[in-house]
Amino acid sequence: MGRLDGKITIVTGATSGIGRRTAEIFVQQGAKVVASGRREEHGRSLEAQLGKDNCLFIRADATQEADVKAMIDACLAKWGRLDCLFNNAGGPSPVGGIETVPVEGFDAAMATLVRSVMLGMKHAAPVMMKQGSGSIINNGSVAARRAGYSTSMIYGAAKAAVNHLTVCVSMQLGEKNVRVNSISPGGIATGIFAKALGLPPDKADSLAEGMKARMAKAQPIPRAGLTDDIANAALFLASDESSFINGHDLVVDGGMIGGRMWTPHQEGVRAMQKEFGVEEG
C-alpha cells in the first residue's frame, strides 16, 4: 500500500533534478502525476519511464499564466481532481554585487522563482477549495533564511518571497482544509549550481554527481544532500500523514543553517588557547 494511493498530483520543473525524482517517488507511492517542464525530450522520457497510466507530461513554462492554467486543466481532464501541487520549477539568478544586477535578469529571476509559485497556487486553489482538501508545496531554500547561502543574493531574496507567500496563502486556504507549506533545501547535488554559473542545463545536470564530495563538508551531516531527501520531504507533505501541518517551512539541510560547525569551532578554541598560553581543560 502506497502513501499516496489514489492521490492526483502535479510536479512542476519535473524534467530533471528534484522534480524528476519527486515524480518518480510519487508514482512509486501510488500517485498519478502530471509532470511539467520546458524540456520536451526529458519530459517525454519521464512519461515513458513511469507509464502513461501513471504520468502525463505537459510542456509548460511555469512563468506563463496560460501554460499554468492549461496544465491544471489537463490534470482535471485526465483524472478529475487535484490533491497535491508541488511548485518546484526554478532556475538560476544573476550573480555578483547589487551594483551589477541587470534589471532584466532580476525580473526574469522573480518570474521564474516567485511568479511561477503564485500562478500555480492561483489556479490550483479554486480546485482544491471546491474539493475541500489538498496540499500545495512550494520549493523554498535555506538561502531564504540566511544571507550568503546562494551564489546569488537575488535568488535568496526571491526564495524569501516564496516562503512568506506560502505562509500568507496558508492562512487563507487552511480555512478550506487546503494546506500550504514550503520545503527549504540546503546543499542538494543537482545541476542548479552549475546553471547559476552560466552552464547550459544539460551540461549542468551532468555535473551534479561530481559535486557530492565538495558539498559533503557544508553541513554537520557528512554527505551532500540528494534529490531523494527533498522528494521524500515532499512525499510527507503530500500525504495524509501531514494533515495538521500548514504554513510551515520544512528545512532539509543536514543542519547547515543551525549554527557554526562543531569541529572547526573547537579547533578555533584550541588555537586561541595555545595563543594565550592557556592549557586545555
Q: Cα-flanking dihedrals φ and ψ of residue 250, to 5°?
A: -90, 110
145-198 pLDDT tens trace? 999 999 999 999 999 999 999 999 999 999 999 999 999 999 998 766 555 556
Q: Are the beta carbons of 165 and 156 closer than 8 angstroms?
A: no
Residue with cell 543574493: 153
Q: Mind listing the pLDDT tens digit for each residue in 10-49? A: 999 999 999 999 999 999 999 999 999 999 999 999 999 9
> What pLDDT sits at residue 22?
98
pLDDT at 63 over 80: yes
Euclidean distance between CA atoms 266 and 150, whole angstroms: 26
How many CA atoms, within 13 angstroms, populate the side-chain half-sphere of residue 52? Answer: 3
Please pick, among 116, 141, 184, 239, the residue that the annotation labels catalytic. 141
pLDDT at 281: 61
Choosing from 150, 152, 155, 242, the catalytic residue is: 155
Three-class secondary structure of residue 32 per DSSP: strand
3-class secondary-structure state, position 36? strand
pLDDT of residue 29: 98
Contacts of 126 (CB under 8 A, 6+ apart): none
pLDDT at position 248 is 98
Task: Phi first, then psi: give them for residue 101, nearest 5 degrees.
Answer: -70, 120
Q: Residue 178 — φ and ψ, nearest 5°? A: -110, 120
Structural domain boundaries in the chain? 8-276
Question: How far is CA 95 from its chain centroid?
Answer: 20
* pLDDT at residue 208, rounded to an integer: 63
Q: Has 78 been annotated as catalytic? A: no
Q: Which of 7, 32, 159, 195 is the catalytic position? A: 159
155 given a catalytic annotation: yes
Q: Which of the pair, 274 or 99, is modelled with greater confidence?
A: 99
The confidence score (pLDDT) of residue 189 equals: 81
Angle at 197 between CA 191 and CA 203, to 5 degrees: 45
pTM of the shown model: 0.92
Q: Is 141 known to be catalytic?
A: yes
Q: What is the CATH number of domain 8-276?
A: 3.40.50.720
What is the SS3 assignment for 96?
coil
